[in-house]
């Protein structure tokens, strides 16, 4: 487990305790190394991270290793090893002897978003075509995406079982290899023993991490989770300190992944549930709404069947109320800052500036007295504009400032961080293009924002509401003369940001493209008008949507098709869908649109038998050829081709049936249903 407790702030722009810069990683050209190995007929061996105890570490982790430790490649461990499988519906990973639950919780969250996963894990790698025992991964490292190259030798025990991360699908090895790459980036496997979920989340995305104390959470926490789960976010959480399994089944001082939320309708009223997963792949919550809880009997048979999976796989449901009582931290990593703040207008933009504190010149320390050396610190000019130009009374601008200090040692846990912070001043006049504002400025002007405490953290950040204008940001260490490099990031809707006296007059911001831009406003307006949507309203919504990937062949949803879709989504037999159910549908529709467009190569608006199987495989569904033919007969036209509307209906039905089977089966071969459950599942779906 070994979680390091973070400083609590409103917004956290992810901590990254990795190497002290990509320059400390060996420069390895993945393509050149692989081609050389193929030409020489040998498998790659990475001398910079060898298959030896030096890569494991030199501390307490060595005592956890099994006797007879060996290093083996996946083809030596399985007859049919696969790097990654898009067909695996559940990419569950299990923690090994390394105390890196924080890393595994973040990694499990990564698997819920294949587009983000594929940025970190190139999914076209394999153990067959041009296999040379070499693999590559990408991490966001101090403002840049950097590649990490490894060989595929993994530590195993005498029985050939992986000692560190493994997959529940024993033939999949992407998780174990990714952990090895992250260990190399961090210095060793030992250096993964302590950390926070937010560190790994940011290393996987370069995004913005919001940290919330559930016990002190705002009243709209459920709304925040709802927006987060349908957006491109990764969510983790941590229990209160301690390192033992509690009577309620939770593990103290442990990180979990939040994998879903659900508002269910009980006989006594609504209940708000969250679904969590233990990185161990076992040991679950034993309270209300756990796998064996009687609370499930309060739901309709269909809702119970599709939500409850009785399996000791580490995944479980609990109420939001219990979550707030038993979890210390909730960490939401989003690729754009606007989650709590519902400011509309221009897209978010980000600017990054690197700097350093040097003893004798720019390491001025904190503000202590009018005659101190604070003015010597690096100084950055920030000009902020309102995204809603032309208003008589400009609204304050949301600005997020993040200061990250560069690690000072090859091993992420070897050298402690400095205590850092930053000050913000308002500028009312132009002081010229000097290296630094003179000491007199700081004697006469009080800061608008200052550190409440200087923190020995990788990153400190603050969300600010600023009037349009010009400001000065001064990052510093708590004591003068302390040396380090840093990265300063600013997020806002519209700004210019640069270091005073820098050779470049201004560094313009980079726009952050959000694929879900405008969706939250759309959902809010829609459900203000219709809190619950029936089939007629669903038909109007779907037929007024613009299906951008489908080109000129825009689908037309019939009332019958919408009644069928609604029946699949309506778990509580109300005849309507809620905003949460519609958001779930929206995410699925976006995926179905992409795979349909990809395989509709002739732009006819239809898929044939071969194209249908390929499209379903890309969406994670594998059907036999016989079943696929039956689906074309049932959902397609006389020429055995299927249009997009029928494809949506088919995919939703198949996913429902797959979930029902997996939740009900005890042996993976069959299921038992009572007659009312059978009728509900087969007739109303």
**CATH assignment at residue 501:** 2.60.120.380
Q: 8 in a domain, yes or no?
A: no
In this predicted structure, the answer to whether residue 19 has a pLDDT above a threshold of 50 is no
Per-residue confidence (pLDDT) for residue 669, from 0 to 100: 77
Same domain membership, residue 111 and residue 49: yes
> Residue 416 and residue 17: Cα distance in Å, rounded?
10
Average pLDDT value for residue range 89-115: 84
Domain end residue (candidates: 507, 531, 561): 507
Options 17, 278, 572, 656, the catalytic residue:
278
CATH number at residue 290: 3.90.70.10
Q: Is residue 11 a part of any domain in this protein?
A: no
Model confidence pLDDT, tens digit, residues 426-459: 998 766 556 678 898 998 899 999 998 898 777 7
Residues 537 and 634 in one domain: yes
User: What is residue 15's predicted lDDT score, i.e. its pLDDT?
Assistant: 36
Sheet containing 380-384: which strands, arranged edge to edge? 420-427, 469-477, 380-384, 495-499, 507-508
- Confidence (pLDDT) at 22: 40
CA atoms of 491 and 335, how far apart (whole Å): 11
Same domain membership, residue 532 and residue 444:
no
Please check whether residue 478 lies inside any domain of the structure. yes
Q: What is the pLDDT of residues 641-661, one digit of tens each?
A: 999 999 999 888 888 887 777
Segment among 260-269, 373-382, 393-402, 607-616 with least mean pLDDT: 393-402
Highest-confidence segment of 33-42, 263-272, 546-555, 565-574: 33-42
**Tokens of residue 293, six digits:** 């809880």
Same domain, yes or no: 380 and 484? yes
Q: Is the pLDDT of residue 89 over 80?
A: no
> Please, are residues 319 and 288 in contact by the beta-carbon 8 Å criterion?
yes
End-of-domain residue from the set 507, 542, 576: 507
CB 159 within 8 A of CB 77: no
- Of 43-47, 134-138, 231-235, the one with minimum mean pLDDT is 231-235
User: Residue 486 has what pLDDT?
Assistant: 94
Q: Say whether 58 sits in a helix, a strand or coil.
A: coil
Cα 281-287-291 angle, rounded to 5 deg? 50
Task: Say whether pTM exceeds 0.85.
Answer: no
pLDDT at position 409 is 73
| Residue ending a domain, choose from 476, 507, 538 | 507
From the list 222, 389, 224, the residue with the least C-alpha distance to 321 is 222
Q: Angle at the Cα of 414 (from 411 to 420), degrees rounded to 5? A: 105
Same domain, 239 and 151: no
Q: Tell me if 318 sits within 8 A of 276, measured CB to CB.
A: yes
53-62, 92-101, 580-589, range with the lowest pLDDT: 580-589
**How many domains does the chain divide into?**
4
29 and 171 belong to one structural domain = yes
237 plus 120 within the same structural domain = no
At 114, which helix (H) or strand (E)? helix 114-120
Is 101 assigned a catalytic role? yes
Q: Do 525 and 580 belong to one domain? A: yes
**Residue 340 maps to a domain:** no
Do 569 and 661 sit in the same domain of this protein?
yes
| Domain-located, residue 83 | no
Q: Backbone phi, then psi, for 235, in 5-degree steps?
A: -130, 130
- 564 backbone dihedrals φ, ψ, rounded to 5°: -65, -40
Percent of the chain with pLDDT over 90: 40
Cβ-in-10-Å burial (0-12, 13-18, 19+) of 113 comes to: middle
Within a domain: residue 343? no
pLDDT value at residue 20: 38
Q: What is the predicted pLDDT for the residue at 588? A: 84
Query: Residue 404 and residue 142: Cα distance in Å, rounded?
Result: 8
Task: Residue 652: give its domain's CATH number.
Answer: 1.10.238.10
- The verdict on residue 3 lying in a domain is no
- 287 phi and psi angles, rounded to 5 deg: -85, -155
Contact 342, 520 (CB under 8 A): yes
pLDDT digits (tens, 9 = 90+) for 177-210: 999 999 999 999 999 988 889 889 989 988 877 7
**Inside any domain, residue 324:** yes
Question: 278 catalytic, yes or no?
Answer: yes
Active-site residue, from 141, 254, 326, 599: 254
- Cα dihedral 558→559→562→567 (10° resolution): -140
Mean pLDDT of the chain, nearest integer: 84
**Whether residue 415 sits in one domain with residue 383:** yes
Same domain, 539 and 615: yes
Greater confidence (353 vs 414) lies with: 353
| Same-domain status, 501 and 398 | yes
Q: State in Å, rounded, how far the first CA of the chain is from the last one.
A: 43
Q: Report, as an integer, the average pLDDT of 349-373.
A: 88
The active-site residue, picked from 101, 237, 350, 397, is: 101
Q: 20 or 133: whose pLDDT is higher?
A: 133
Q: If you average pLDDT over residues 592-601, what whole number do you get?
A: 88
Structural domain range at position 243: 208-334
């Amino acid at each position: 487990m070994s979680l390091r407790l973070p400083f609590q702030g409103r917004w956290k722009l992810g901590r990254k305790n990795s190497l002290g810069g990509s320059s400390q990683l060996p420069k390895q050209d993945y393509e050149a190394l692989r081609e050389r190995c193929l030409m020489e007929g040998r498998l790659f061996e990475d001398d910079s991270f060898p298959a030896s105890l030096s890569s494991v570490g030199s501390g307490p982790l060595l005592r956890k290793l099994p006797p007879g430790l060996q290093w083996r490649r996946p083809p030596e461990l399985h007859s049919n090893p696969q790097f990654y499988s898009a067909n695996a519906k559940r990419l569950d990973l299990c923690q090994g002897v390394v105390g890196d639950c924080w890393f595994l919780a973040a990694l499990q969250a990564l698997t819920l978003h294949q587009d983000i996963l594929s940025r970190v894990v190139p999914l076209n790698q394999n153990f067959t075509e041009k296999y040379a025992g070499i693999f590559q991964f990408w991490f966001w490292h101090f403002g840049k995406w950097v590649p990490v190259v490894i060989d595929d030798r993994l530590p195993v025990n005498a029985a050939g079982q992986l000692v560190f991360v493994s997959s529940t699908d024993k033939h999949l090895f992407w998780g174990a290899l990714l952990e090895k790459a992250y260990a190399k980036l961090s210095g060793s496997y030992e250096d993964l023993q302590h950390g926070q979920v937010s560190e790994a989340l940011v290393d996987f995305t370069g995004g913005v991490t919001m940290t919330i104390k559930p016990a002190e959470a705002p009243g709209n926490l459920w709304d925040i989770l709802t927006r987060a789960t349908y957006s491109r976010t990764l969510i983790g959480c941590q229990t209160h300190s301690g390192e033992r399994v509690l009577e309620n089944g939770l593990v103290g001082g442990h990180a979990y992944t939040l994998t879903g939320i659900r508002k269910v309708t009980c006989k006594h009223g609504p209940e708000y549930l969250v679904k969590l997963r233990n990185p161990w792949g076992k040991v679950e919550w034993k309270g209300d709404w756990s796998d064996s809880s009687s609370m499930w009997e309060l739901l309709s048979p269909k809702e119970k069947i599709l939500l409850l999976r009785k399996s000791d796989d580490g995944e479980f449901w609990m109420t939001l109320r219990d979550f707030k009582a038993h979890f210390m931290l909730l960490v939401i990593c989003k690729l754009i800052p606007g989650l709590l703040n519902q400011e509309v207008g221009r897209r978010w933009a980000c600017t990054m500036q690197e700097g350093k504190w040097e003893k004798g010149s720019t390491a001025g320390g904190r503000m202590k007295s009018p005659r101190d050396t604070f003015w010597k610190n690096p100084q950055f000019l920030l000009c902020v504009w309102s995204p809603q130009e032309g208003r008589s009374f400009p609204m304050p601008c949301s600005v997020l400032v993040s200061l990250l200090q560069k690690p000072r040692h090859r091993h992420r846990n070897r050298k402690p961080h400095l205590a850092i912070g930053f000050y913000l001043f308002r500028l009312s006049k132009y002081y010229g293009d000097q290296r630094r504002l003179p000491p007199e400025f700081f004697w006469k002007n009080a800061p608008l924002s200052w550190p409440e405490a200087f923190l020995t953290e990788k990153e400190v950040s603050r969300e600010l509401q600023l009037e349009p204008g010009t400001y000065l940001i001064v990052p510093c260490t708590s004591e003068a003369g302390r040396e380090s490099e840093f990265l300063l990031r600013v997020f806002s809707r519209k700004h210019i940001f640069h270091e005073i006296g820098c050779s470049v007059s201004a560094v313009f911001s980079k726009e952050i493209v959000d694929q879900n831009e405008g969706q939250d406003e759309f959902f809010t307006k829609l459900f203000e008008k219709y809190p619950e949507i029936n089939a007629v309203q669903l038909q109007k919504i779907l037929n007024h949507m613009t299906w951008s990937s489908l080109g000129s062949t825009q689908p037309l949803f019939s009332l019958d098709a919408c009644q069928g879709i609604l029946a699949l989504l309506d778990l509580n037999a109300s005849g309507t869908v809620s905003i949460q159910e519609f958001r779930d549908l929206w995410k699925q529709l976006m995926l179905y649109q992409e795979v349909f467009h990809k395989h509709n190569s002739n732009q006819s608006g239809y898929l044939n038998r071969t194209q249908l199987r390929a499209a379903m495989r890309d969406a994670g569904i594998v059907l036999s050829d016989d079943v696929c033919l039956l689906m074309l007969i049932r959902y397609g036209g006389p020429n055995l081709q299927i249009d997009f509307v029928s494809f949506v209906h088919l995919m939703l039905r198949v996913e429902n049936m797959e979930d029902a089977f997996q939740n009900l089966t005890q042996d993976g071969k069959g299921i038992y249903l009572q007659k009312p459950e059978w009728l509900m599942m087969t007739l109303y779906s």
